[in-house]
Structure formats: C-alpha cells, structure tokens
C-alpha cells in the first residue's frame, strides 16, 4: 500500500525529496542519507542515472530503501536508456517487488553525462510511458495486447517544468500527462511564484487538478559555484530569474548558502498558499542534514508521522482514499 498515495488523497501537505543512488555497488551510504530524512519527508525519489551519469540502478536503490523501512521510495524511470520491451519488463519487476510509487520522465540526453557517446533510445516519451504503466495496471495487458496475471499495483507520477518556453503551453502539456494517467506531478525548481501560480491556475481551469496532486519543486542554491552552474543553462530545464541571481550575488560568497536556504524557505511558504498545490518536492540531494532546518524556516515543523513502527496505523487510517481505487 502506498502511503504517499494515501497522504495525497487525504489532502495533507506532503513532502518528497530526492536521493541519488551511489556510483558503486553498495546502497549503504544512500540509506544513511535516507535516515536523515525520516519523519520529515513522506517519500524519496530514487533517481534513474540522473543527468545521464551511471549510478546504481533506480530499481535496486528503491528496493534497498523499501527494505530498510526508513522511508517510502518513488522509483524514477527514464525513457532514455530502454525500449518499450525493457521498460515494460522493468515495470513488471517493480510491481513484483512491491514498488508502487513510480515517476516517469524522458531523461537527459547522454551528451550531458559521463558517456556522451552513448546511443539514446527514446523509444517512448514520458507521456507514453505513463499511459503504458496505466494500461498494465488497469487493463492487465501489455502493449502487445497479451494479458498479465496478476496486474501490478502502481501510483503514477510525472514531472513538468512550468517555466520552459513556450510558457503558454506548459499547462496543456502537463494536462496531457495527467490524462495519460499521472496521479501526482513534481515540478522543476520554482523561483518565480507568479509564473508558477498562473500555471497551477491554468491546470485547474483545464480540470486537471481534480485528478492529480501537484508538488512544487524547491531547491537550495548552496554556493556561488552552484549558482553559476545552474544559471549557465547547462542543466536542462532549469531557469533562474534575474532577480534571484542578483539577490544571491548581492551577498558575500560565504553567505550564498544561507541566503539560498532563506530563499527556498520563502518559496515553500509561498507555494503552500496556492490553491491546488498539495506539497513540495525538495530538489536537495546532498542537503539531507539541513532539510529539517529548512522546513522549520518555512514554518513546516514536523517531527511527525513516521518514526519507526508507526507506518501501518497511518496507512490503515487513510485506507480507501486513493484516487483510482487501487
């Protein structure tokens, strides 16, 4: 049973975060970072070769986190590295291992990663993969039409960037993913509250918010070097408005991290007030120790739901409230 799904269905303010699997054949360090988030974060994305850099497989990281009992995993899947045969096989594998929370994205091109000569696959895009997972779950069929027995149980997620041009089409693009089956949606970094609010409003006007929970992406710019990197355009999909750049460059280099944390806390507090936004997704991999303080700064004080041994009562209390009835 997905506790993430139950919490979102109950309308509770929900927090997810990211964990990057290690560049090595052990999940121990990642599990240590997951422990730092216990009680503060409802679920963690286990990234899938993030930035086109080779790391421990997302499914393996998700299984390790799930078996640890520390926190609930969200298994990311990209379309970059596998064709529809391999993707469907991995979906069935996730279902067999009890991994219900899935998040789909097309994936960064290999030219951005550590194997720039690798051949990209992109047999599907993220919307098609979302629809495929929904078909496996709801119709118990592969794309070939062959029947599944049993069908997997999934809670389906997607990503969106409300700020990428052309901005006027981003809500409709997100709505297509929701129509394909996305039940929750995490966004790219939110720095411009006005543009983000308009995007959420447009989603509501399209009737999409009744079927999908939106979590605003929030990250801490921790150094002048990180600011320069994110502002350089080298990170696909990340756009930092000039006022934010001026604000962070207006403090001494040693103070950028503290100012970046204050900015992130302000964003969290602001998006909580936007109708239709049910939570935040913390893009803070490597920032796990500081996450509790960041949330306190934002007015989200929650040494709360999931100390060891309390998951099952929470799940029982919310049972039966999932959006799709599964």
Q: Does an H or E element contain 263, and which?
A: helix 256-271
**Pairing of β 101-105 and β 155-160:** parallel
pLDDT in tens, 25-83: 999 999 999 999 998 999 999 999 888 999 999 999 999 999 999 999 999 999 999 99
Beta-sheet strands, E only, within 67-205: 72-78, 101-105, 155-160, 184-189
pLDDT band at 2 (very low <50, low <70, confident <90, very high): confident
pLDDT tens-place string over residues 254-283: 999 999 999 999 999 999 999 999 999 999
CA distance linking residue 79 with residue 127, whole number of Å: 10
Range of weakest confidence among 17-21, 169-173, 179-183, 233-237: 233-237
Please enumerate in sequence order all residues whose Cβ is within 8 A of that of 271, keeping only pairs 6 or more positions apart, or say none: 190, 193, 196, 216, 218, 277, 280
pLDDT above 70 (res 314): no
> Which structural domains are found in the chain, ordered by start?
3-220+272-285 (3.20.20.220)
Please tell me the predicted confidence (pLDDT) of residue 320. 31
Distance CA 110, CA 321 (A): 40
| Residue 285 burial class via C-beta count within 10 angstroms: exposed 0-12, middle 13-18, buried 19 and up | middle
Structural element, H or E, at residue 170: helix 170-180
Residues 208-238 have pLDDT tens digits of 999 999 999 999 999 999 999 888 877 767 8
Going by C-beta distance under 8 Å and a sequence separation of 6 or more, which residues neighbour residue 309? Answer: none
pLDDT in tens, 87-141: 999 999 999 999 999 999 999 898 989 999 999 999 999 999 999 999 999 999 9
Calculate the alpha carbon distances from 173 to 84, 127, 265, 280 in Å. 22, 9, 28, 20
272-276 contacts: CB < 8 A, separation 24 or more?
272/13, 272/298, 272/299, 272/300, 274/193, 274/196, 274/197, 274/200, 274/216, 275/200, 275/204, 276/200, 276/201, 276/203, 276/204, 276/209, 276/214
What are the two backbone dihedrals, phi and then psi, of residue 154, each rounded to the nearest 5 degrees? -135, 150
pLDDT at 284 (0 to 100): 82
Residue corresponding to tokens 């921790």: 222
Query: Can you tell me whether residue 274 is helix, strand or coil?
Result: coil
CB atoms within 10 A of CB 112: 14
Angstrom distance (rounded) from CA 107 to CA 159: 11
Which pLDDT does position 59 carry in this prediction? 96
Phi/psi at 257 (5° precision)? -60, -45
């Amino acid at each position: 049973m997905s506790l993430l799904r139950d919490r979102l269905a109950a309308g509770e303010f929900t927090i997810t975060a990211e964990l990057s699997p290690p560049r090595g054949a052990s999940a121990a360090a990642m599990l240590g970072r997951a422990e730092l988030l216990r009680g503060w974060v409802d679920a963690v994305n286990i990234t899938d070769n993030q930035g086109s850099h080779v790391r421990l497989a997302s499914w393996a990281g998700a299984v390790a986190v799930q078996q640890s009992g520390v926190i609930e995993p969200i298994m990311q899947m990209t379309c970059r590295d596998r064709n529809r045969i391999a993707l469907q096989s991995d979906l069935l594998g996730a279902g067999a291992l009890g991994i219900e929370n899935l998040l789909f994205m097309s994936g960064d091109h290999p030219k951005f990663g550590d194997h720039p000569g690798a051949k990209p696959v992109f047999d599907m895009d993220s919307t098609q993969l979302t629809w495929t997972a929904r078909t496996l779950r709801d119709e118990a069929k592969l794309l070939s039409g062959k029947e599944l027995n049993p069908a997997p149980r999934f809670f389906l997620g997607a990503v969106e960037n409300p700020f990428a041009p052309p901005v006027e089409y981003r809500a409709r693009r997100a709505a297509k993913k929701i129509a394909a089956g996305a039940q929750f949606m995490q966004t790219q970094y939110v720095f411009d509250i006005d543009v983000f609010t308009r995007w959420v409003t447009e989603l509501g006007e399209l009737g999409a918010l009744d079927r999908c929970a939106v979590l605003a992406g929030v990250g801490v710019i921790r150094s002048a070097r990180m600011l320069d990197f994110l502002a350089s355009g080298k990170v696909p999909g990340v756009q930092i408005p000039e006022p934010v750049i001026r604000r962070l460059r207006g403090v001494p280099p040693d103070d950028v991290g503290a100012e970046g944390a204050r900015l992130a806390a302000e964003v969290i507090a602001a998006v909580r007030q936007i109708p239709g936004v049910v939570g935040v997704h913390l893009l803070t991999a490597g920032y796990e120790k500081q996450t509790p303080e960041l949330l306190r700064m934002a007015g989200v004080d929650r040494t709360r739901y999931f100390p060891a041994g309390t998951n099952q009562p929470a799940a029982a209390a919310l049972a039966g409230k999932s959006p799709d009835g599964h």
